[in-house]
Structure 1
Amino acid sequence: MRVLLTGGLLAGAFACGGAMAQDVLIANTKVHTAKAGGGVLEDYDVLVRDGRVAAIGRGLVFEGIPMIDGTGMWLTPALFGGITGIGIEEVSAEEATNDAALALGDGAKDMVVRPEFDVTLAYNPDSIVLPVARVEGIGFTLLSAGSRPGGSIIGGQGGVMRLDGSPDPVGPRTLFLSLGGGAAGLTGTSRAGQWMLLDQLVDEVRGRIPAESGGALLTPAGRSTLARYFSGNGRVVVRMDRAADIRQLLRWSQRHGVRIAIAGGAEAWRLAPELARANVPVFVDSLVNLPNNFDQLAATLENAARLRAAGVQVGFTQSGDASHNARKVRQLAGNAVANGLPWEDGLAGLTRVPAETFGVADHVGTIEVGKTADLVLWSGDPLDVANTARHVWLGGRAMPMRSRQTELRDRYLRAEPSAEAGALPRAYPARVE
């Protein structure tokens, strides 16, 4: 039998959603599995048991299982929030709350390269930034490691975090590099110096430069870390935009057997066939359509569509304040679709593509029987920002649909002016008659 939960009963059933997984039947909804070639399942049911997807079908009936009527709504996997600092960056302007980057050395003059630096060790699952992203349907993110002024072009390692409150990353680590004009100041002001230094690092890792030599850049831990990535056992995310730099990156990575992905790639469409042949995913900000610098002169709103048409796997990430505005990643995918990207590829860029790229497809990215139930029930098309997430489940647990932002909103909406001094919340404007 189906037990339908609505209104207050539904709220009560999931009030303790953060504590344990619940069995639930999501019925009569449009299911977008995000599987390659999976298509759309109209008016289907999805059964969640013990934190996993137990069944997908029509007319499913299970004795005593609570049911949510999804009529008119869309069900998708929980979305990828992009490459962010969620959980390692609380207040961008307050350095004590920002653990995303390492500052060492004095630029190219005294560069200290520490690829063993791992930002996941600073992750805070209690960060107030997590619920802000989660109530918008964001279920996982790739923590980014970067360099502050005085650092190196190798920022360190990050990893995929599920935003379910668990403290540890899932899947393998990812190494971050910054190349191109924006990072030239770290390599003697010339981007040519970047390839010189990268080749030196390869020589160190492969023993052609003795560790005890005066010119060595790496610690023993750093050599061990880079040896893994430089032998193809790990993904390297490279931040760059200019087509000429991307061409050099393809040559360098193929020469040394390094598995890369590109973040940014404003001019990547110019090398789309080469990127497709090399199986290099590109994570774009599809709102970059005007050059913010000389590395983006060929930026276009059709970047994602042109890349995908050539066979490149396309994902999405923001180039601005990605940590505190992760919800805007849906807007990136929606704008890419508006400019020629097929809708299914827009959803894949927020689900399956990042999951496969960063080695966590066993955990997130698609809706499949037996897979972890990281799901979002939307009021409509999730790539249209007019629609909202109505329910979010991570590991089968119903996430509370509240955050610091919603609490502040509700506080001020509920407040009523009063003649009593101090009756209004701070900064609440007096009502103008």
Structure 2
Amino acid sequence: MKRLLIGLLIAPSAFADSVLVTNANLMSMGPLGTQHGVSVLIEDDVIADIGTNITTVADTVIDANGAIVTPALFAGATATGLVEVNAVRESADGSMSDTKDNTVQVGFDVRDAYSPMSSVVGVTRVEGFGYSLLMASGGQYSVAGRGSLVDFDGGFESFNGSDVLFVDVGGYAADKVGGSRAAHWMLLDGIMADLKRRSSEREYLSQSGKEHLKDLTKNGVFVFSANRAADIRKVISFSNEYRLNSVITGGREAWLLADELAAADIPVMVNGLDNLPSNFDALGSRLDNAALLHDAGVQVLFTSGETHNARKVRQGAGAAVAHGMPHEAAVEAMTTTPSRVFGGRVRALEVGNRADMVIWSGDPLEVTSYATSVILKGEVTSMATRQSKLLERYLPEDAGLGRAYINR
């Protein structure tokens, strides 16, 4: 067990102060565009130089051998760092159960429960993902709680960007507010009335909740979980009425309102693999959803909808490209766009920016490709995970002998 725990250290491990990546096909996702056959010099935690004639001697040299190098990927909206096993209650902290307090829990902040030592963080990171939108889910009303972007660099306080409030206005969540999705909007109008201190039949917010919501309306981002076109339309009108900085997640029928979403400047976070009407909120699902949104001028982001399978984000982006979305736009949608949408730092691979980058075995949108090296905060990350350590421990080494014969 001791050896296993040692192998679970998930903080990026650097053995040098400087790193030089040579012979890279660099997709900077910034003003530099794509640079072929260049070297990237990393000193401390930032990119110090990019070029073809870097002569600086670095402590660690990685020959990319012509491979594609991108910024670290965005894992979508997940509970990574908040959950180990969903069915084990003490290991799941992404939601708040019903309480006797009837106020809307705007103050519930999942960042207070985040652990960078979660095995899910390490597994997600070695797949080439450097950050995620730490998501609150569930709750006793439409409002689930708050989160933000979080980097997978091993830090306990690796949060950045704006405060984000998660709101579910879909059909499944309607049971929380009386059985009709129309009640979502009655509740949300009520909390906005509370904020403006208008008279109402009941108090929806505590005093601290009012302070949190006031700040969110000015500086934060509202993420609305909605799939049905009618619900998305309500999000657009609600966001316009209260001047909210909003994002749609899910958005299976968002393509039906692509022009309206573009006009309202509301980004949409989609699962590129959604193609079947799995429920009545998603009858209009189609694989070219992302392409249609992009063509209309909507900012597109990708999510898999699964914390333990965040790697599907790459597959979903690849499916979007196969159905009409430009390749570079899809890479941008899962690297730099999310940080821009949620108020995070600039993640393009440019001189002066923090070095969060991935070297790939092939096209990052191909399912057969994989990350060969992951560099976060300028440090070369260990590719060991709990799974790889368990494999080493239990995989038989002697031909013909089963696992029961291996004891170490």
How many residue pairs end up in the alignment? 398
Q: Determine if the alignment matches structure 1 residue 191 to structure 2 residue 181.
A: yes
Name which one, 1 or 2, has greater alpha-carbon Rg: 1
Structure-2 separation of matches of 1:20 and 1:155? 41
Q: Is the contact made by 2:134 and 2:147 (CA closer than 8 Å) also made in structure 1?
A: yes
Q: Determine if the alignment matches structure 1 residue 172 to structure 2 residue 162.
A: yes
Q: Deviations over 1:162-202 (max 9, x none)?
A: 11110011222210000021211112111111111111111
With over 3 angstroms needed to count, the CA separation of the structure-2 counterparts of 1:51 and 1:331, relative to structure 1, is: same
* Structure 1 stretches lacking a partner, 5+ long: 1-14, 427-433
RMSD: 2.1
Q: Determine if the alignment matches structure 1 residue 350 to structure 2 residue 340.
A: no
Letter in 1 for 2:297: G
Structure-2 separation of matches of 1:408 and 1:337? 36
Identity score, percent:
40
Q: Is the contact made by 2:103 and 2:206 (CA closer than 8 Å) also made in structure 1?
A: no
* Structure 1 counterpart of 2:213: 226
Q: CA deviation at 1:356?
A: 0.4
Q: Determine if the alignment matches structure 1 residue 299 to structure 2 residue 292.
A: no
TM-score by length of 2: 0.93
**Stretch of structure 1 that moved more, 289-298 or 416-425:** 416-425
**Stretch of structure 1 that moved more, 408-417 or 115-124:** 408-417
Q: CA deviation at 1:318?
A: 1.6
Structure-2 separation of matches of 1:74 and 1:45? 12
Q: Deviations over 1:12-64 (max 9, x none)?
A: xxx995257631111111000112x6431111111111110011111211135
Structure 1 runs of 4+ with >4 Å offset? 417-422
* Equivalent residue in structure 2 for 1:258, among 236, 244, 252: 244
Q: Deviations over 1:289-332 (max 9, x none)?
A: 1111111111100000000000001001122xx22111121111
Q: Determine if the alignment matches structure 1 residue 329 to structure 2 residue 313.
A: yes
Letter in 2 for 1:359: G
Q: CA deviation at 1:410?
A: 3.2
Q: Is the contact made by 2:13 and 2:381 (CA closer than 8 Å) also made in structure 1?
A: yes
Q: Is the contact made by 1:105 and 1:112 (CA closer than 8 Å) also made in structure 2?
A: no
Structure-1 separation of matches of 2:293 and 2:391? 40
Letter in 1 for 2:19: V
Q: Determine if the alignment matches structure 1 residue 87 to structure 2 residue 109.
A: no
Structure-2 separation of matches of 1:242 and 1:59? 53
Q: CA deviation at 1:251?
A: 0.6
Structure-1 separation of matches of 2:219 and 2:98? 26
Q: Deviations over 1:71-126 (max 9, x none)?
A: 221111111111001110111111111000011248xxx84311110000000111
* Structure 2 counterpart of 1:122: 113
* Structure 1 counterpart of 2:122: 131
Structure-1 separation of matches of 2:112 and 2:394? 37
* Structure 2 stretches lacking a partner, 5+ long: 1-9
With over 3 angstroms needed to count, the CA separation of the structure-2 counterparts of 1:17 and 1:193, relative to structure 1, is: closer
Q: CA deviation at 1:408?
A: 2.4
TM-score by length of 1: 0.87
* Equivalent residue in structure 2 for 1:205, among 195, 201, 222: 195
Letter in 2 for 1:245: D
With over 3 angstroms needed to count, the CA separation of the structure-2 counterparts of 1:87 and 1:219, relative to structure 1, is: same
Structure-2 separation of matches of 1:155 and 1:116? 10
* Equivalent residue in structure 2 for 1:56, among 50, 53, 56: 50
* Structure 1 counterpart of 2:355: 373
Letter in 2 for 1:267: E
Structure-2 separation of matches of 1:353 and 1:159? 15
Structure-1 separation of matches of 2:403 and 2:366? 44
Q: Is the contact made by 2:269 and 2:301 (CA closer than 8 Å) also made in structure 1?
A: yes
SS at match of 2:372: strand
Structure-2 separation of matches of 1:16 and 1:265? 34
With over 3 angstroms needed to count, the CA separation of the structure-2 counterparts of 1:337 and 1:215, relative to structure 1, is: same
Letter in 2 for 1:118: D
SS at match of 1:160: strand
Structure-1 separation of matches of 2:166 and 2:37? 42
SS at match of 2:219: coil
Q: Is the contact made by 2:161 and 2:339 (CA closer than 8 Å) also made in structure 1?
A: no
* Structure 2 counterpart of 1:415: 397
* Equivalent residue in structure 1 for 2:134, among 125, 143, 160: 143
Q: Is the contact made by 1:253 and 1:259 (CA closer than 8 Å) also made in structure 2?
A: yes
Q: Is the contact made by 2:24 and 2:65 (CA closer than 8 Å) also made in structure 1?
A: yes
